[in-house]
Amino acid sequence: MVKIAVRLMGGAGFACLALTGSALAEGSVGARSPAPECTADVHYDQNGKSWPGYYAEDADGRHCVPFTATHKLAPDGYKGDYYVDEFTDAKVRAAWADCLRQGPACSDPVRERAKTFIRPPFAATGTVNPFGKIDPDGDVDLNDIRRPKFFGQAPYAEKIAEVDSRTWIVEVEVPSERYEHDALNVPPSKTWKVRGWYIEGKGVENGQGDLVRPLVVMVGGRSIETTAIHDPKDERVWVYNAGKGTYDTAKFPGSTEVWGSLQWREYLRKLNEAGFDVLTLDKRAHGISGGLDTSNTVEQARDIFRAVDAFETGKGLRIAGPNGTVLTGDAAAGKLLAGQKARDVQLLIGGASQGSLVTSHAMYLNFVCDRAFEEANEACGAPLGYNVKAGIALAEFVHAVGYTPRVLIEGLLRSEYHVPYIPTGEILGSVPEWPAVFLGRGLWDMAGGLEGALDVYDRGTGLKEIAVVRGPHAEGAAGPENVAHLQDRIVAFSKAVIHGDGEVPGAAKFSNLRELVLSAPPVWEESMKPAGN
């Protein structure tokens, strides 16, 4: 292996002090991959110096293309499946217990970082334009929620408006959580309502010449709100700070409620354009959905299956159609899913960033073990057994906590708050059970080493694809061409799943890390255009 010093600077709580207590991590490449050939600075969103890279011969010359190195490789001579066996739920809890024994010098910085994940609900929708602002924990008129056509008006002119005539506003009742009961005085009997859009599709060809009606469930990233405004004039998520020489996250008071919601809605539109029914729900404590905990990704995964069940039975369901008619309970049962049963409809479950955490847990619950991860040593219930055909992960965390320098924070969240966030080794170990897997990410994604994506890919036993771009973590932040590339790859993959193809047309081919890095289109995220690289 080759070792390189890599700075993992602190975006969204992912600083490496979560594992080591230091701002520097020792990054490595594994034996299957060639040694890095060069180093390059990474601008947005890490402002990092001298990240490892490989040379690419672009049309405008030779450039060093950086990537996120693996912060921790298996020790020499290790026997076993390191990233599964050494990063289980039990192991991350034990790591936090050991940190507590070391005293405040270890535990206090971790507690400070954990505040990022134990926080009030995200509620930006309606802060620029009051239409669409609701009380998500109250009794809501579903027609007060923004529909796709809202985003077709000036100055937004989003293509998502095209789907309005086939979109339903949906509301599903879900139970409250252990953390809410213990820490926030929420009665165990309390329920919340999660809300979003269900967009009906025209059908997808299944390989036998028939049109079928699969459902793609897409879960947004942390802080993404389905119906939040993103003004298209706010093109960049960053602003250059000339005084510090850094690329800082921009703010857009009075114009944009949540940057990235525009790109997210385009992922939904393109999947629907390809014929898929598409469901997106704001996660608990995000946007138009109720709840007080933003971070329990296992409960957020269960909400997917709760919603699909409700579409069949009508239990706890309200829906509002394009004409404004609201249907409740039995009257709403069977209106969605093209009349299919919840256990029969072909499901593709996907998400970005936190949505990929939700996706990973949903796949584990469905194929391996029904488990909450709220307590140590929980029993493993029978897998849920829905007709899930694929997991789709953007800004992916399927690689789990072993590739993400967040062990102590995860141990704290689970041990003290009963909140599982990032998947542990059990989930990475479940990937061979997934029927198909798609991974999309930026090369210098701060969420974990790029070799983690290779590890997930190698574990896949069915249809699989990795699509990478020259960009950072967020699925909407790599620039229009790169975002369109990821959107188009997801559509191609999803169609191939339903068609029953043995491989995905146009998918990148690679055998090691260097080839994966060089498979990215030769398009740079704007802060990284190669002057000075």
Please check whether residues 18 and 166 belong to one and the same domain. no
Q: Residue 475 and residue 315: Cα distance in Å, rounded? A: 34
- Among residues 215, 346, 354, 337, the alpha carbon closest in space to that of 272 is found at 215
Do both 68 and 172 map to the same domain?
no
Q: Are residues 62 and 158 in the same domain?
A: no
Co-location of 319 and 180 in the same domain = yes
Residues 284 and 299: their CA atoms lie apart, in Å, by 9
Q: Is residue 70 located within the same domain as residue 165?
A: no
Three-state SS at 131: coil
Instruction: Measure the CA–CA gap between 28 and 41, rounded to whole angstroms.
Output: 17
Question: E-assigned strands of 264-387?
Answer: 277-281, 317-320, 326-328, 347-352
Of 72, 449, 144, the closest CA to residue 288 belongs to: 144
Q: Domain range for residue 44?
A: 2-85
Of the candidates 61, 63, 73, the residue with the CA atom closest to the CA atom of residue 6: 73
Residues 66 and 194 in one domain: no
Question: Do residues 176 and 80 share a domain?
Answer: no
The pLDDT value given to residue 531: 52
> Rounded to whole angstroms, how far apart are CA atoms 167 and 148?
8
The reply to whether 358 and 257 lie within a common domain is: yes
DSSP helix/strand/coil, 472: coil
Kindly state whether residue 149 falls inside one of the protein's structural domains: yes
Tell me if 71 is assigned to some domain: yes
Let me know whether 185 and 79 are in one domain.
Answer: no
What is the structure's pLDDT at 275? Answer: 98
Angle at 329 between CA 327 and CA 333, to 5 degrees: 80
Residue 471 lies in a domain: yes
pLDDT at residue 12, as a whole number: 29
Residues 81, 195, single domain; the answer is no
Is residue 509 domain-shared with residue 413, that is, in the same domain? yes
Does residue 217 lie in a domain region? yes
Q: What dihedral do alpha carbons 295, 299, 302, 308 form, nearest 10°?
A: -70
The CA–CA distances, whole Å, from 412 to 45, 113, 118 equal: 26, 10, 11
Which CATH number belongs to the domain containing residue 425 in this structure? Answer: 3.40.50.1820
Q: Count of domains in the chain?
A: 2
Under 8 Å between Cβ of 117 and 102: no
Q: Is residue 122 part of a domain?
A: no
Antiparallel, parallel or unpaired: β 204-205 and 317-320: unpaired
The per-residue pLDDT string of the chain (533 residues; one tens digit each, 9 = 90 and over) reads 444 433 332 332 222 333 222 222 344 688 778 899 999 999 999 999 999 999 999 999 999 999 999 988 899 889 999 999 999 999 999 999 999 999 999 999 999 999 999 999 999 999 999 999 999 999 999 999 999 999 999 999 999 999 999 999 999 999 999 999 999 999 999 999 999 999 999 999 999 999 999 999 999 999 999 999 999 999 999 999 999 999 999 999 999 999 999 999 999 999 999 999 999 999 999 999 999 999 999 999 999 999 999 999 999 999 999 999 999 999 999 999 999 999 999 999 999 999 999 999 999 999 999 999 999 999 999 999 999 999 999 999 999 999 998 999 999 999 999 999 999 999 999 999 999 999 999 999 999 999 999 999 999 999 999 999 999 999 899 999 999 999 999 999 999 999 999 999 999 999 999 999 999 999 999 999 865 44
Residue 115 falls inside a structural domain: no
Domain end among 39, 60, 85: 85
Q: Which residue has the tokens 């990795």?
A: 466
pTM: 0.94
- Find all residues with CB under 8 Å of 163, minimum gap 6, and list them: 148, 199, 268, 269, 272
- The verdict on residue 137 lying in a domain is no
Query: DSSP per residue over 152-218, as a string?
Result: GSTTT--GGGGGGGGEEEEEEEEE--HHHHHHS---TT-EEEEEEEEE----EE-SSS-EE--EEEE
- pLDDT of the residue at 20: 29
- Domain boundary residue among 85, 107, 129? 85
Q: Is residue 94 part of a domain?
A: no
Pick the last residue of a domain from 85, 109, 132: 85
35 and 147 both lie in a single domain: no
Where are any strands of DSSP class E within 233-385?
A: 238-241, 246-249, 277-281, 317-320, 326-328, 347-352
